[in-house]
């Protein structure tokens, strides 16, 4: 009998197939004591296992490429964290086996993060995966992972670690569903990059029996268990129609009456450029430069290394617009040479621009590298600062850009409610705004962007969040300047229409979402988008906002 479940849709598309479950987690190692004379040998085993797992993660990243590579390299750094390794060795020194020392050290760190409510708690799934891989290697057992299957299937898991998501084979994994996670988790981001339909934050998904046929709608978040033939035909027909619509619309982003809405790509480095070009991106709306810095947490990359990476992206978009975000370190992206190690809540501490202003030499080197990288190229470079709180922040950043001799537009990200509320003041110092809706939602609703339990508050359809977008767009319009969106909100085709109606002037997203957004915008006039935006803001919940906008755009 057909039943319907609803989670959070995080990657567009429809998948229909039999369920396969992720392998079970590594068993807890026995808590047995070892003689003191075996401690040094066990410590050696632990170090070897850590290095082997880190090397494997890096190798997987090299195979995956693009944004997945950066995520996996960051996870490898987590495995090699000096404090964690020191804790493991301390536990072994007082009698633990290598595997038990690893298990307990990671458990302590996990509990510390979760109980403190830190932003890093959003990486608990990544931490668990690293622990499981090290313990499995020490126990000599296979690492649980994506099941072997000769036939395509829908994967269900409690959560998916980046190492598993990055190497999913889209020809076999039709889509995936997780019980935990959020719309901006690593797995959600990688799913969109792969173009695999995905639904997260669906409690009870693990109870769906192996082999059960399910239909997954990655746009609505709906899961149909044992769908009827009518439902399957309806979803397949809608999917086919959507694909036809995607291929029929090409060229720059615009509404049906010709209002231009440039569609840009979010990239983490040169590896993400081919997919952006294939999707017809009109430029880059968010170049996340922190992945270049995460290659080595001990020191900043040299100016020459930065120039090479920046130029490789800039050269790919002649006559296009490339918006570079300077280093956004802190919170879930700590760097030993830049961020404090003892902050009680890094998400609310010294991160983003605050870190850079405390280390002006790092900012100066990056801005100088960008200035040199763009020399002689016919590209429109724009550079923006993350985590701008007020006009003083914006002025400090603009001054630093001018001092570095940077010939580009300077902008500010709107990720803190204060920046949206005082957007017109900030625009006295910079030339454009870019809304990071993921962090803006997190700070607006006091809801960790990686925690599935508060995912409803991370929904970009929340009317309060739309109000802040409108405030920012209105301020930019009044100042004759631009205001784009580079958060995950831009990847929702329906919401893209609403954002356009709110006055947003460009949309930047993962490359896989660009065709969906282009096709949807092309079906509606600017006036329809404006009416949909008004209807959404008049609602009292995210679901009501989505329904109201849909009704306007469908002519109901």
* Alpha-carbon span 518 to 119, nearest angstrom: 33
Is 186 in the active site? yes
Alpha helices in 95-218 (DSSP H): 98-116, 124-139, 162-165, 186-194
Residue 327's CB is within 10 A of a number of other CB atoms, namely 27
Alpha helices, DSSP H, located in 7-65:
39-64
Residue with tokens 């009870």: 204
Cα angle, residue 2 at apex, residues 451 and 177 outer, rounded to 5°: 25
Hey, what are 120's tokens?
Answer: 């890093």
Closest CA to 49 of 117, 10, 106, 4: 106
Do β-strands 198-200 and 8-11 pair in parallel, antiparallel, or remain unpaired? antiparallel
> Other C-beta atoms within 10 Å of 155: how many?
27
Sign of the dihedral through C-alpha 341, 389, 463, 489: negative
Residue 247: strand, helix, or coil: helix
Q: What is the DSSP letter of 97?
A: -
Q: Of 129, 134, 156, 175, which is closest to residue 45 (Cα–Cα)?
A: 134
Among the listed residues 359, 401, 483, 486, the single catalytic one is: 486
Q: Which of 12, 70, 186, 524 is catalytic?
A: 186
Q: Report d(CA 188, CA 194) in Å as an integer.
A: 10
Residues 193, 318: Cα–Cα separation, whole Å: 24
The answer to whether the CB of 398 falls within 8 A of the CB of 404 is no
Q: What is residue 380's three-state secondary structure? A: strand
How many CA atoms lie less than 13 Å away from 511 in the CB half-sphere? 22
**Separation CA 517–CA 253 (nearest Å):** 8
First CA to last CA across the chain, in angstroms?
Answer: 31
- Give catalytic residue positions: 186, 486
């Amino acid at each position: 009998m057909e039943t319907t479940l609803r989670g959070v849709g995080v990657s567009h598309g429809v998948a229909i197939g039999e369920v396969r479950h992720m392998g079970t987690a590594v068993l807890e190692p026995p808590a047995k004591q070892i003689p003191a004379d075996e401690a040094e040998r066990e410590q050696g085993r632990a170090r070897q296992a850590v290095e082997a797992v880190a090397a494997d993660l890096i190798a997987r990243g090299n195979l995956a490429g693009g944004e997945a590579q950066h995520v996996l390299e960051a996870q490898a750094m987590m495995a090699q964290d000096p404090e964690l390794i020191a804790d493991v060795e301390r536990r072994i020194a007082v009698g633990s086996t290598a595997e038990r020392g690893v298990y307990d050290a990671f458990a302590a760190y996990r509990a510390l993060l979760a109980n403190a409510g830190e932003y890093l708690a959003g990486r608990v799934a990544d931490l668990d995966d690293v622990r499981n891989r090290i313990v499995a290697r020490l126990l000599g057992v296979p690492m649980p992972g994506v099941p072997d299957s000769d036939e395509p299937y829908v994967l269900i898991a409690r959560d998916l670690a980046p190492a598993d998501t990055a190497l999913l084979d889209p020809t076999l994994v039709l889509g995936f569903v997780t019980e935990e996670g959020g719309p901006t988790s690593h797995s959600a981001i990688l799913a969109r990059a792969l173009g695999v339909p995905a639904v997260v934050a669906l409690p009870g998904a693990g109870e769906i029996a192996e082999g059960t046929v399910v239909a997954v709608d990655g746009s609505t978040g709906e899961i149909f268990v044992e769908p009827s033939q009518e439902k399957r035909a309806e979803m397949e027909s809608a999917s086919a129609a959507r694909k036809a619509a995607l291929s029929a619309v090409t060229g720059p982003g615009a509404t049906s009456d010709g209002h231009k809405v440039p569609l840009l790509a979010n990239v983490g480095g040169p590896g993400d450029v081919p997919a952006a070009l294939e999707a017809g991106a009109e430029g880059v709306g968010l170049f996340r430069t922190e992945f270049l810095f995460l290659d080595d947490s001990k020191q900043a990359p040299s100016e020459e290394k930065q120039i090479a990476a920046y130029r490789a992206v800039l050269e790919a978009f002649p006559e296009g617009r490339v918006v570079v975000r300077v280093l956004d370190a802190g919170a879930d992206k700590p760097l030993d040479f830049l961020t404090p190690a003892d902050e009680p809540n890094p998400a609310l501490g010294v991160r983003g621009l605050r870190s850079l202003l405390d280390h002006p030499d790092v900012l100066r080197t990056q801005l100088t590298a960008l200035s040199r990288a763009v020399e002689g190229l016919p590209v429109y470079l724009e550079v923006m600062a993350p985590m701008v709180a007020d006009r003083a922040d914006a002025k400090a950043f603009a001054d630093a850009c001018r001092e570095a001799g940077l010939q580009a537009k300077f902008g500010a990200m709107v990720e803190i409610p204060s920046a949206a509320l005082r957007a017109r003041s900030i625009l006295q110092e910079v030339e454009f705004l870019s809304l990071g809706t993921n962090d803006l939602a997190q700070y607006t609703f006091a809801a960790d962007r990686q925690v599935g339990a508060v995912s409803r508050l991370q929904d970009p359809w929340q009317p309060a969040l739309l109000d802040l977008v409108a405030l920012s767009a209105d301020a930019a319009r009044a100042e004759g300047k631009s205001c784009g969106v580079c958060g995950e909100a831009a990847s929702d085709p329906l919401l893209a229409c609403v954002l356009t109606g709110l006055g947003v002037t460009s949309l930047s997203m993962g490359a896989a979402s660009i065709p969906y957004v282009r096709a949807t915008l092309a079906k509606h006039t600017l006036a329809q988008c404006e009416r949909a935006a008004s209807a959404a803001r008049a609602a009292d919940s995210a679901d009501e906002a989505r329904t109201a906008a849909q009704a306007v755009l469908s002519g109901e």
